[in-house]
């Protein structure tokens, strides 16, 4: 940080301020995490200086020998980790990765069956506000009203009626297991390609904490941050027969040169994710989420589906007479950073929904375990009981800061804090 402090102290001061925030709060947005110092080093490396349109051994610019080796390393590590036949590590993030799948498999138009955004799906699975719902004909499946789980019978019925060419599964706010095998059966029945978006659960899938998407899916997409603890990027894994179409959709279909510094950081994160320590980490993420859910239930909260199988829990704040936005705002003032979120069959708008989404990846990276999750559940309960009490929230904020001090945030220089 020394050169930055010298050249642009204003930006440096803001980064230091953000470092202090990340170090002193409980970061519980499920899609956030702490990248390792090695990943951060690769992300900020001189690879940012190099332009590399094309693919290894098929570049449009010279001087690519080192870049080719780096990208090939990332590809091979991704294939090995996910047991995939082909991998593309160039997408700039998860949404561009999904866009490339649409372009590669469907072209300019086609029929897609995806999980409803309000049920926990992602924007790119067919939401009207997204390119996916604008340029493609979409039908959405949802959840059972009885238990809040994916309604596979409904998905099958809709697939038979709608006859999609592509089916998306995976979610961004669904606390239970996604049955890839069941979706594959539905896809085969109607002759559709199955795409599994595992951006939220990628780490769980490769460490045995959640069923793996292959061999059931034709294509798997993922971000490279979140549970993988890599840089902000994306990747696409697929069957070999689809490799050419996918690669062409990424480049030159949607983007030019890859971000080589990100590619290198992805390679580092994939190496870290292949270690026994990472498998232990993912086991603890799930154990922590279950402990958090139990602690919240014991304190009277209502949870969507009554618990969790993965890394997140979804609180129904409306059941306690609150709104998701008011509870999330109070939690932030108490030092607990989560996000307001729609819950299944929510009568409130996305701008002021009924739910709050909490995740355990970042807390687990800091070394917290089940005992700390019970403390956190208590903090959440105290926040809900003192929503407008500035003094009570300030006291909670100090307790949170004290807890965070016992579990230093990796990748953050103590000198910045």
Question: Is residue 14 annotated as involved in ligand binding?
Answer: no
Number of helices (H), then strands (E), belonging to the chain: the values are 16, 14
Question: Is residue 240 annotated as involved in ligand binding?
Answer: yes
| Cis peptide preceding 294, ω within 30 of 0 | no
Adjacent-strand bridge partners of 27:
337
User: Which one from 149, 156, 232, 333 is the annotated catalytic residue?
Assistant: 232
For residues 225 and 29, what is the distance between their CA atoms, to the nearest angstrom? 13
DSSP secondary structure letter of residue 46 = G
For residues 255 and 259, what is the distance between their CA atoms, to the nearest angstrom? 11
Catalytic site includes residue 226: yes
Tell me how far CA of residue 195 lies from CA of 171, 174, 207, 340, in angstroms. 12, 17, 20, 27
H-helix segments, 45-87: 65-82
Catalytic site includes residue 391: no
Catalytic site includes residue 207: no
The CA dihedral of 406, 410, 411, 414, to the nearest 10 degrees, is 10
Catalytic site includes residue 179: no
Catalytic site includes residue 197: yes
Tell me how far CA of residue 290 lies from CA of 306, 308, 317, in angstroms. 11, 6, 19
User: Which one from 20, 32, 50, 53 is the annotated catalytic residue?
Assistant: 53
> Taking a C-beta distance cutoff of 8 angstroms, is the pair 342, 355 a contact?
yes
User: Which one from 20, 32, 50, 51 is the annotated catalytic residue?
Assistant: 51
Question: Is residue 259 annotated as involved in ligand binding?
Answer: no
H-helix segments, 83-162: 94-106, 131-135, 152-162
Report the 10 Å Cβ neighbour count for 371: 10
Adjacent-strand bridge partners of 254:
none
Q: Is the dihedral of CA 363, 367, 370, 374 positive or negative?
A: negative
Q: Which residue has the tokens 């279950």?
A: 290
User: Which one from 43, 223, 323, 364 is the annotated catalytic residue?
Assistant: 223
User: Which one from 59, 176, 226, 325 is the annotated catalytic residue?
Assistant: 226
In three-state secondary structure terms, 141 is: strand
User: Which one from 197, 309, 346, 372 is the annotated catalytic residue?
Assistant: 197
Catalytic site includes residue 294: no
Structure tokens at 123: 């924007």
- The binding site comprises 117, 121-123, 240
For the annotated catalytic residues, the residue numbers are 51, 53, 197, 223, 226, 232
- The binding site for (6S)-5,6,7,8-tetrahydrofolate comprises 117, 121-123, 240
């Amino acid at each position: 940080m020394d050169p930055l402090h010298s050249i642009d102290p204003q930006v440096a001061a803001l980064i230091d301020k953000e470092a202090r925030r990340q170090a002193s709060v409980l970061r519980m947005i499920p899609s956030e995490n702490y990248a390792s110092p090695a990943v951060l080093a690769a992300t900020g490396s001189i690879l940012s200086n190099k332009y590399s349109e094309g693919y290894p051994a098929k570049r449009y610019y010279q001087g690519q020998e080192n870049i080719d080796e780096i990208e090939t390393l990332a590809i091979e590590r991704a294939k090995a980790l996910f047991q995939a036949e082909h991998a593309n590590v160039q997408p700039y993030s998860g949404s561009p990765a999904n866009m490339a799948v649409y372009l590669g498999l469907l072209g300019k138009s086609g029929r897609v069956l995806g999980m409803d955004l309000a049920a926990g799906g992602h924007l790119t699975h067919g939401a009207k506000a997204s390119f996916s719902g604008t340029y493609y004909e979409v039908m959405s499946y949802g959840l059972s009203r009885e238990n809040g789980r994916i309604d596979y019978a409904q998905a099958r019925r809709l697939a038979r009626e709608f006859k999609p060419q592509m089916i998306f599964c995976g979610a961004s706010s669904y606390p239970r297991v996604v049955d890839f095998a069941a979706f594959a059966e539905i896809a085969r029945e109607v002759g559709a390609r199955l795409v599994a978006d595992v951006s939220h659960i990628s780490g769980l899938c490769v460490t045995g904490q959640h069923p793996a998407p292959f061999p059931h899916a034709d294509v798997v997409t993922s971000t490279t941050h979140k549970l993988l603890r890599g840089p902000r990027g994306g990747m696409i894994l697929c069957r070999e027969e689809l490799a050419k179409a996918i690669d062409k959709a990424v480049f030159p279909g949607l983007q030019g040169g890859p971000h080589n510094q990100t590619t290198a950081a992805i390679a580092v994160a994939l190496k870290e994710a292949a270690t026994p320590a990472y498998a232990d980490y993912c086991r603890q993420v799930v154990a922590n989420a279950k402990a958090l859910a139990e602690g919240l239930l014991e304190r009277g909260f209502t949870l969507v589906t009554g618990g969790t199988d993965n890394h997140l829990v979804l609180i129904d704040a409306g059941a306690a007479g609150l709104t998701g936005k008011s509870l999330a705002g109070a939690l932030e003032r108490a030092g607990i950073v989560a996000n307001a979120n729609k819950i299944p069959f929510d009568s409130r708008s996305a701008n002021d929904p009924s739910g709050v989404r909490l995740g355990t990846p970042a807390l687990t990276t800091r070394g917290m375990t089940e005992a700390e999750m019970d403390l956190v559940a208590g903090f959440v309960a105290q926040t809900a009981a003192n929503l407008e009490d500035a003094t009570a929230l300030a006291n909670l904020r100090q307790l949170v800061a004290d807890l965070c001090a016992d579990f230093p945030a990796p990748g953050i220089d103590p000198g910045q804090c």
